[in-house]
Amino acid sequence: MKTITSACLLLLLLSPLAQLRAQDSQEPVQSNGLALTPPMGWNSWNKFDCNVSEDLIKQMADAMVKSGMKAAGYQYIVIDDCWQVSRDKEGNIVPDPQHFPSGMKALADYVHSRGLKFGLYSDAGTKTCQGRPGSRGYEFQDARQYAAWGVDYLKYDWCNTGTQDGHASYLLMHNALLQSGRPIVFSMCEWGTAKPWLWAKDIGNLWRTTGDIYDAFSRREHGLGMVEILDLQAGLESFAGPGHWNDPDMLEVGNGGMTDTEYRSHFSLWAILAAPLMAGNDLRDMGAATREILTNQEVIAIDQDALGKQGSRVWKNGDLEVWARPLKDGGRAVVLFNRGASQQTVSIGWEDLGYPAYLSAAVRDLWQHKDLGKFTGKYSAAVASHGVVMVTVKP
Ligand code: GLA
């Protein structure tokens, strides 16, 4: 009798219906516990496109240290698309032997020897966006391989995915990375297609919210410049927090398509958004202004604030707007932003920051590195065209 019951139970468990139920059961996803503040690092794509090699990556790791970027908190060196060429007979992913002759383990070791962490890129579909082999059908094998090489970060793209389901595809690689036994930050890059902020909290550590950034202040109808990406972040603030961040795409600071004033705005706004700070420029020959922007410790401290609350747009009137986020110490970080063609005065009232108007609060300018004194009810500043004034307000 007992044998019959067990056999029945086994049959039931193996039935398609039971399998369907198991998938539907919404078992809680185990998060990887990483990226409690937004990841900071460098990625090859914005500047170098497909032109990646081990020499370039080594030079970038050296420059990350030498330039002061590492000291400022940047950690990950991530190779984007085009490092892979094929799969071998066993299905193992093969790095381009011409550009990465020493292999990925040696390169990861080099990056680690500089006190940095190492990242790679793959794609949930059959091919990457540049037509290299994707991870579809090889998720666990690839994750084991990354772990064996010493990979610390995986950016996972969404090209050539046909009818694949976003949630299922990213969950699969999330599980594969967890089972690899190595802590690997999981950067989801499905461009906001299936609104990952609604379902990826425990799956990805960061998820792209939009298509690719273009190195321009504004692109209007031609694509996504910095301000078009910014506008698409409004309303997403409640979905981010420690371990799971909205990703408005990598930084263009230093790539030449914007003025230094505009790059200062880009960096300040990304910090208010608690965005991952992935530099996308050539770290080997940064000008003084680029370095000063990317290593501004006071702005980085806002991005990395331990409360992990993404900022929101708290006031807007035409070309003028104010973005703010609450900080762990009870203060606020505030960006006064002017999209207009000429300098204008922008004000922030305490009530828009959630403070009573009678409060006296200390204001500090994070680009001038200067305490501005105590203010009651509001703070106003002249803001340059396309520029920001970024302050903290502390009662
Ligand atoms: C997509 C991604 C980019 C970059 C390229 C590489 O467009 O959104 O960030 O990774 O693919 O091909």
Question: How far, in Å, CA of 22 to CA of 330, rounded?
Answer: 44
Q: How far is the CA of 5 from the centre of ligand 1 (A)?
A: 53
Query: Pocket residues for ligand 1 (CB within 6 Å)?
Result: 45, 80-81, 128-130, 157, 189, 212
Q: What is the pLDDT of residues 226-261, one digit of tens each?
A: 999 999 999 999 999 999 999 999 999 999 999 999
**Cβ distance 155 to 121 under 8 Å?**
yes
Catalytic residue among 81, 157, 282, 303: 157
Q: 329 is written with which tokens?
A: 């110490």
Q: How far is the CA of 157 from the centre of ligand 1 (A)?
A: 7
- Size of the chain in residues: 395
**CA nearest neighbour of 390 among 373, 374, 375, 370:** 370
**Cβ distance 243 to 235 under 8 Å?**
no
Q: Which residue has the tokens 């461009």?
A: 191
Say yes or no: do domains 34-303 and 312-394 share a fold.
Answer: no
DSSP assignment letter at 342:
S
Nearest CA to ligand 1 atom 6: 81
Domain boundaries, the chain: 34-303, 312-394
pLDDT band for position 388 (cuts 50, 70, 90): very high
Give this prediction's pTM: 0.93
> Which is the CATH superfamily of the domain at 34-303?
Aldolase class I (3.20.20.70)
Catalytic residue list contains 157: yes
Question: How far, in Å, CA of 120 to CA of 80, rounded?
Answer: 6
Closest atom of ligand 1 to CA, residue 211: 8
Q: What is the pLDDT of residues 101-138, one digit of tens each?
A: 999 999 999 999 999 999 999 999 999 999 999 999 99
**Does the pLDDT value for residue 2 go beyond 50?**
no
Q: 213 is written with which tokens?
A: 């950034």
Q: How far is the CA of 123 from the centre of ligand 1 (A)?
A: 9
Give, rounded to a whole angstrom, the gap between the first and last alpha carbons of the chain. 74
* From 80, 120, 213, 229, mutation site for ligand 1 pocket: most ligand atoms within 8 A of C-beta: 80
**CA nearest neighbour of 104 among 13, 115, 92, 10:** 92
Average pLDDT for the chain: 94
- Looking at domain 312-394, which of 1.10.10.10, 3.40.50.720, 3.40.309.10, 2.60.40.1180 is its CATH number? 2.60.40.1180
